[in-house]
Structure formats: C-alpha cells, structure tokens
Amino acid sequence: MRVFIVFAHHEQRSFNGALKSLAVSVLTEQHHAVKVSDLYAVKFNPVASKQDFLKLPDIQETNYMLMQKSTAQKGRFAKDIDDEQEKVRWADFILFQFPIWWFSPPAIMKGWFDRVLACGFAWDFAKTYSSGLLRGKKAMLSVTTGGGQEGYSEKGANLATINQMLHPIMHGTLYFCGMEVLPPFVAYGAFQVGDQGRKKYLEEFKQRLLTIETTQPLKSYSPIVGKK
C-alpha cells in the first residue's frame, strides 16, 4: 500500500514527531511505500491567494474556489500545491499527524486542506461525499491534545467530545472529498502523562498502524460520541 503522511508540528523532537517517526518505521517494515510531507520543514505556505495559480484561465475571476476548478481543468497550480497533489494522487492511504490547537488543527495544516484539496481536484460541484473525486482512498487522523481525556465529553471542561472537535475534518473535509475515514488515533494530554504514558501511546499507535488495512472505516461521521 502507498501511504502519504502529512505532518504538522514545528518541532521534530515533539511527541507528534515521535508518532510520525514511528509511523514511517512501522509502515516501512510492513513493506508499505511511504512518503512524508513535513509542512513546517518545507515552510509550506498556508495562505490561499491568486499566487496559487501559475496560469489563470480567466484572470478576471475573483472566486478562489472557481479559480481552483478552472486551474484543475486547464491551468497550472503553483509548484508547492502541484507537488502535494501528486502525493495525494499516488497515495492509497493518507495519515494526518498534528496537535489539536484551539479545537482545530494548526493553521499550516488547515492551509494545506484549503490549498491542496482544491475544487476540481479533490471534489467538485455534485461530486462530494460518496461521489468525491478522492473516493477509493482511505485516511486517518492521528492527533495529540493538551488536556486529558476527561475534558473531552459534553459534560467535560471543553463541552465537546473529540468526535465533535474532529467532525469538520473527518466529515467536512476528508469524507466530503470521497475518502473513507478510519477512526482517529488520539493521544490525550500527551505532555502531561509522563514517559510511561507516552510509551503506552506509542505502543497503541503501533498496533493501529499494523491494522490499517483491516480496520473498518467509519460508516458515517456523526459528531455525537458513540454514534457511527
């Protein structure tokens, strides 16, 4: 299987970096082909603009989404977008590794979604969800949180489950583009649990990686915990 890892953390020595490195090691040992985009290392630009299009079919167009669609059909994307889209085309499985910041992915990861999963490339009008242009591919989120698991419930401090927090990505982005989405891997309170806690998370993540070919994707993406 061809696996593309999109990694968004500014520090290689972070626990996110350890999870990414483990994924590369385990998946390679299982004879999967692996490619990695380290977004901070390459200084990926998260800001969508007209500079994303090397050749605009209609220079008068002002709608970014329509510019994406026209460029996907008969134009040219900027090189950083084109390089990432080529990895998406190549991949059977995409793993996204990032920390949860402010109930969201880091801006650099959100910018990757905005610019790379372009209209006309990853989805199109009337070609979304089960008809999305990336159907046939699988995806999984691997995330870390600052707070412990007890805070991620409708009665916890965050007043939201992790499913609710990740719903815009799992449902509104990945499934929207047609991908099958596996249940996320979550390392709660990664910097609070100590070395033994992080070691346990690494072992659990390893087991998830060893079973990605047989793990059943979510049937639907209700943000309500326990509903699938």
For the domain spanning 2-210, the CATH number is 3.40.50.360
Query: What is the distance between the alpha carbons of residues 13 and 187, in angstroms, rounded to a whole number?
Result: 16
Phi, psi of 116 (to 5 degrees): -85, -40
**Domain segments of the chain as ranges:** 2-210
Q: What is the radius of gyration, based on Cα positions, of the chain? A: 18
Q: Is 83 left (phi over 0), alpha (psi -120 to 50) or beta?
A: alpha
pLDDT at site 132 = 97
pLDDT at site 57 = 59
pLDDT digit string (tens) for the chain, length 228 residues:
999 999 999 999 999 999 999 999 999 999 999 999 999 999 999 999 999 998 765 556 789 999 999 999 988 999 999 999 999 999 999 999 999 999 999 999 999 999 999 999 999 999 999 999 999 999 999 999 988 778 887 778 877 788 889 999 999 999 999 999 999 999 998 888 889 999 999 999 999 999 999 999 997 554 544 444
Counted residue by residue, the chain has a size of 228
Quick one: three-class SS letters along 86-125? HHHHHCCEEEEEEECECCECCHHHHHHHHHHCCECCCEEC
pTM for this predicted structure: 0.93
pLDDT at site 224 = 44
- Which residue type, as a one-letter code, is found at position 110? K
